[in-house]
Amino acid sequence: MRTVPRRRSAIAVVASIVRIGRRPAAAAGTGRSTMRSTVVALTVTALAVAGAVTVVATTAPAEAAALAAAVEDEGADCPVTLPGTLTANAKLPDPFKKLDGTRITAKSDWRCRREEIKKLAERYVYGEKPAKPASVTGTVSGTNITVNVTHNGRSSSFSAGVQLPSGSGPFPAVVVLGGFGADTAAIRAAGAAVINYDPYAVGREGTPRTNKQGAFYTIYGATSSTGLLMAWSWGVSRIIDVIAQSGGSILKADAMGVTGCSRFGKGAFVVGAFDQRIALTMPIESGSAGVPIFRGIPGEGAQSLSSAYGEQPWLGDAFGSFTGSPNTLPVDTHQMVAMVAPRGLFIMDNPHIVNLGPKSASVAALGGAEVYKAIGAGENITYWSDIQNGSHCANRPEWSTPLQQNIQKYLLKTGNAPGAIRISSRAAGNLAEWRDWQTPTLTDGPSTPPSPSAPPSPSTPPSPSAPPSPSTPPSPSAPPSPSVSPPPPGGCSATGTVQTQWATGYVIQPVAVTNNGTSTINGWTLTFTLPAGHTITGSWNATVTASGQTVTARNVAFNGTISPGGSVANFGYQVSRPSGNTQLPTGYTCTAS
């Protein structure tokens, strides 16, 4: 396939990528910081729009200012020992399972678990992203950014154009890869600057893997095993270095976004995953080597992994061993989605072009969203493929409002609009088919795992200061804490409403939990039964587990307390079912605590 030349217009680039009846081009510091917590209160509604299943989370004013990190990699000090051998697994790897085989139990554990995923992704998928070079200098003006890098006796430089919005600075900024991504006019109208970044200056396409060219490879060698996507990511990180050193009079280093479409959507995704200073990541129609899960691409009919690997040296050299066996990969893209958490992520996709792997991309988003939810940032991710125009990399009216809202929330820090999952029915993936793990309820405090050499006796009761696990209710003989009201005599009840349904699935929203007693409820558990063949594919505002067709849903922190005679109605869930099977779940059993 013909390579896109440097510095071509967006229209020309798209024209070269899309061919009627042919495959479109696959889409084109160190230092430690404690885990940033995001305290939110969620309310979720679900609805169907134009054949799409939509989940919208609303939130109290977001602590957006705290989402972007002060350093490129918060977990750089975490020790990581990569596995010596790999085992094939057709299911998506458990993002909560550490390399030592244990699962994380606290939100603070995510910092080092993310570092493990980062190292796996570098080793097997993208190639290594070196830390900040010994010397990074440059200039920032209202029209241009220059970057000069020196490391181990080698030097290189590159530049990027700047377009400021109206008003007075300093301004947040969105790095636009390759000349096109999210609507730049809309970005500037929202109050953010646009940084026009030429990735080919840092890592050129059209070069063999043994002779890679560009500013990155000038520093690290033409035979570096690092692929172009990671080289492009490294370049954006160096731009942020220069902005951070510039004094912040023109651009804000703590309010940076990134976007790109097609091959540059791949690049934008990698930029956001591997630099935690990026507050908002916005990949568009990224295709194979982008957001879609590697394991799903062969079955969906998207651009093959071997084609994506061979078309350009986008992926690291090591990935060549997995193009025919993605099940052997110890990592997949749902974990790269999770690497962005808790920061803002707005994935825009096209369900009309199978070659882009939109179904596999929706699975990646749903899988990564489980990590977002577990660490308390479920409202910070948006996936949107519910669009009418199927042209590749077109500006779409459906994305206009969420684009503006994301910029306001994460870059201007003036908004609190919730994230939304809007998956087109044309390309709806089913996470349940791809995972054999469940999302844990993570504690807010640090984890205190027992010493491997001295596991606690099974008969040893938990410490009085440690609340029992949600999956292990307290002993009936244990009196309730004086600050917690005992279960009301009348108990609780629940009813569910079918929000929308289609041939192969449905959404129940809301499920209303009512306190029928005379004392306050401080927790509830629901159990219900799914019809045979039905499977939970998503849920919100409850901790949901399934054993066969029996489903258990427990309240989360903010919706467990119900006053006498009151109710909460913000738990919901989505189910897939065999076509033609129109049965619905049977009644709910509610237990108050």
Catalytic residue IDs: 262, 392
Structure tokens at 405: 């809202």
Give the SS3 label for residue 362: helix
SS3 244: helix
CA distances from 562 to 410, 471, 496, 497 (A): 33, 21, 17, 20
- Residue pair 42/379 in contact (Cβ under 8 Å)? The answer is yes
The amino acid present at 261, given as its one-letter code, is C
Q: Rounded to an integer, what is the distance from CA 480 to the centroid of its chain?
A: 39
Side-chain half-sphere exposure of 511, counting CA atoms within 13 A = 29
**The token pair that represents 111 in the structure block:** 């910092």
| Residue 86 DSSP SS3 | coil
Report yes or no: 305 and 297 within 8 Å, Cβ to Cβ.
yes
Residue 144: both structure tokens together: 């241009």
- Cα 428 from Cα 481, distance rounded (Å): 46
Alpha-carbon span 102 to 121, nearest angstrom: 20
CA gap 68, 412 in Å, rounded: 12
Pairing of strands 154-163, 193-197: antiparallel
Cα 366–Cα 99–Cα 341 angle in degrees, nearest 5: 35
For tokens 């007693």, the residue is 517
Which residue has 């005679």 as its token pair? Answer: 565
Report the relative pairing of strands 589-592 and 524-529 from DSSP bridges: antiparallel
Residue type, 198: D
Distance of CA 133 to CAs 144, 173, 362, 568, Å?
22, 23, 36, 53
Angstrom distance (rounded) from CA 307 to CA 296: 15
592: which strand partners? 524
- The whole-angstrom separation of Cα 443 and Cα 450 is 16
Q: What six digits make up the tokens of 163?
A: 């377009």
Closest CA to 350 of 280, 296, 423, 407: 423
Sheet containing 251-261: order of strands: 42-49, 52-59, 420-424, 381-384, 344-348, 278-284, 251-261, 171-177, 193-197, 154-163, 144-151, 135-140
Tell me which H or E stretch contains 263. helix 263-274
Could you tell me the two tokens for 155?
Answer: 């030097």
End-to-end Cα distance, the chain: 62
